[in-house]
Amino acid sequence: MFGGGKGMGPCAMMDGVGLDTVAFIEEHCVKERGLPSEYTDDFLEKRYLDKGRLGAKSGKSGLYPPGQTTKIKGEEKDHHENLHAPSLNMLDIGLNFLTDALNSGGIVVGSVDGRQIRTLVSGQHLLDGLDISFKTGRIYWTCMGIPTSNDGTVQSCKLDGSDIQTVIPSGAIHTPKQLIIDHAALKLYFCDREGLRAMRCNSDGSEHETVIQTGDWNNPEDAKDQLKWFGFSKGGKGRIFRANLQMPKGQNASTRKDIELLFQGLPESIDLEIDEDTQTLYWTDRGEGNSLNAAKLGDDSLKALREDSEERNEYQILTRQLHEAIELKLYTINKHFI
């Protein structure tokens, strides 16, 4: 009856949903039926909630040890969302250092309740995007480098911060930004801002290729056209596109015809995530409102737009008034955002 993964029992389900949610439901049931609360919501409140033990959503455990009820059956050791001993890995770009700020970035790790913060990696050159693969047992991140110098890199290390390796070397990518892992195919996808392109490679850096190219950064006319690579900061020129993972036959990154425009006129769209289970697209907007947004995907939900047309696809603003809404990570098992 008890245990994580599919077919979990009632206690594991309560742990996964959250004991605070269970207590809220129990409180109403107890009042409605005139039952004693000593062994229901009072018990949960004293033994668990007051101690911050909310279940899978917290790092202090619940009815089970931390992460036990979020494991995927049969994939406990390497599933990319295995939250056993939940932790947060964070990028520190390092610009507050008084000396050598451009090379003082690092990766820090801590528990989900903010304690036990420690540095895994230091001395990095303007970090930007990060993702983790438990299948390879490594953390991957981008170093932007100096935007005018074509010296960005993609790096990786073991989960404990050791064995730092260069995945994509300086000169092979200009200014790498957001990075995400296709965990099934073990492919890294990352954007190259000043390089005017989106790229991918295997987790070891092999088969490095450009999948979308919007211009030539060596061409002065392309380099100064901000809409080709950056957009205007908080200027209402943000756009979101989609394309097939496989390159159309007979086409290349510069000539492919399958790129579709889904949203335009956004304040300044930055990062995005897709929940494949619910077919929902999420993204952050750093411009007016500093918001987290969502839109339903699917054949009938979104239509390709013509550039500069008045047409718009509908989307929902989930929250506003963030400070600088940039990176976004969705944990699909618990439906949490970071």
**Residue 83 — pLDDT band, cuts 50, 70, 90?**
very low
Show the tokens assigned to 260: 């579709």
Tokens 């919501």 — which residue?
41
Comparing CA positions, the residue from 70, 45, 46, 44 lying closest to residue 58 is 70
pLDDT in tens, 128-164: 999 989 889 899 999 998 888 899 999 999 988 899 9
The tokens of 103 are what?
A: 């090379």
Domain residue spans of the chain? 10-57, 85-225, 233-337
Q: Which residue has the higher pLDDT, 325 or 121?
A: 121
CATH topology of domain 85-225: Neuraminidase (2.120.10)
Report whether pLDDT(304) > 60. yes
151, 171 in Cβ contact below 8 A? yes
Residue 105: pLDDT band with limits 50, 70, 90: confident
Q: Which is higher by pLDDT, 73 or 123?
A: 123
Which pLDDT score, from 0 to 100, does residue 68 have?
63
In tens, the pLDDT along 1-47 reads 334 445 567 887 788 777 888 888 888 788 888 888 887 888 888 88
Q: What is the mean pLDDT of the chain?
A: 80
Q: Residues 6 or more apart from 321 whose CB is under 8 A from it? A: 289, 290
Question: Is the per-residue pLDDT at 247 higher than 60?
Answer: yes
Percent over 70 (pLDDT), the chain: 77
Long-range CB contacts (within 8 A, 24+) of 272-281: 272/240, 272/328, 273/180, 273/328, 273/329, 273/330, 275/330, 275/332, 275/335, 276/332, 277/332, 281/240
Query: Tokens at residue 30, please?
Result: 């107890």
